[in-house]
Amino acid sequence: MAEICLALAASHTPGLTGWFDKAPEPERRVVTEAYDAVHDAVVDSGADVLLVVGNDHVANARVSDYADFTFGLAAEHRGPDEWFKPWLRVDDYTLPGDPGVAAGLFEAVRDSGPGLRAEPGDLRFDDNLSVPTAMARLVETGVRVVPVLQNCTVPPVPDERACYAFGEALGEAIRTRLPDGLRVGLLGSGGLSHEPGGPRYLDIDEKFDRWWLDLLQEGDHERILTEATFDRMEQAGSGGTAELLSWVVVMGAIGPRPCTSLGYVAVDQWRCGVGAVQWHLP
């Protein structure tokens, strides 16, 4: 049996790398410490493989032909995608992939419900993978990364219960279909509240974000699924806040349990509530 040895979630937003210095120093410190904690958790967990679940941001397929989840099967994952470089201002990176684990998980869950694809070639990565890679210094950890890009924003979006069920299937596949002794970490990448390209582009719903983080720390997943629905996320920032569905996938994979907040800040210039959590595993 493989083991889920780590479960984390953290925001990504281009401001964290592209214009980090626009935030006051105390907020910058919270974010730096949160991503340092993510880095340390990856190292301390001894994870061999890290699944990074994150919004695709309409980067890899036309909106008229859009998958719900796309598994990255490549042996290496390079980023950021060329057009995003002047915006994100991160160094070019190459993360080792794990084609065997990626293909094994894809085959195990491909009929689990949502529309799944596997991409053997290069995927385009923007802030979804590039921000955690840069901020949590993932290349330094040596962990092999399997990206799972998600549809959080092109209707019809798999809702909170569909994403939780997908996470349950993914967790079962990790525990039963991967090699014995393999240590697998999970990172949900996205959120918190933001409305990219909409009328509330510059707004952050701090009240929603803090409510969400409080709910997660309590760890009652049924309550979270009942109250923090896709529609509720949309009310807190359309097209962006629902990136929290990546956190819901992680919750499905590990089952009901509390987590610890690694920090939260709302910085207007970043146009996105920024926070991170680590779940308590046995």
Residues that bind another protein (CB under 8 A): 15, 18-19, 22, 57-59, 62-64, 66, 81-84, 86-87, 89, 124, 153-155, 195-202, 234, 238-239, 268-271
Residue 191's Cβ-count burial label (10 Å; 0-12, 13-18, 19+) is: buried
**Residue indicated by tokens 């719900």:** 68
In angstroms, give the least distance from the CB of 73 to another protein: 20
In angstroms, give the least distance from the CB of 155 to another protein: 6
Looking at beta carbons only, is 64 or 181 nearer to another protein? Answer: 64
In angstroms, give the least distance from the CB of 141 to another protein: 29
Cα–Cα distance, 52 to 71 (Å, whole number): 10
Cα–Cα distance, 278 to 7 (Å, whole number): 6
Cα–Cα distance, 52 to 72 (Å, whole number): 10
DSSP 171-186: HHHHHHHSPTT-EEEE
Looking at beta carbons only, is 212 or 270 nearer to another protein? Answer: 270
In angstroms, give the least distance from the CB of 128 to another protein: 12
Looking at beta carbons only, is 147 or 196 nearer to another protein? Answer: 196
In angstroms, give the least distance from the CB of 240 to another protein: 9
Looking at beta carbons only, is 91 or 268 nearer to another protein? Answer: 268
Taking residue 85's Cβ as centre, other Cβ atoms within 10 Å add up to 15
Helix, strand or coil for residue 152? coil
Name 131's Cβ contacts closer than 8 Å, sequence gap at least 6.
11, 12, 13, 14, 16, 17, 88, 90, 189
In angstroms, give the least distance from the CB of 163 to another protein: 17
Looking at beta carbons only, is 79 or 167 nearer to another protein? Answer: 79
In angstroms, give the least distance from the CB of 63 to another protein: 5
Residue 110's Cβ-count burial label (10 Å; 0-12, 13-18, 19+) is: middle
Looking at beta carbons only, is 89 or 175 nearer to another protein? Answer: 89
Residue 123 DSSP class: P
| Phi and psi angles of residue 96, each rounded to the nearest 5 degrees, phi first | -65, 135
| Helix ranges restricted to H, 52-193 | 85-88, 99-109, 127-135, 138-141, 160-177
Looking at beta carbons only, is 21 or 222 nearer to another protein? Answer: 21
Looking at beta carbons only, is 237 or 252 nearer to another protein? Answer: 237
In angstroms, give the least distance from the CB of 269 to another protein: 4
| Phi and psi angles of residue 181, each rounded to the nearest 5 degrees, phi first | 85, -10
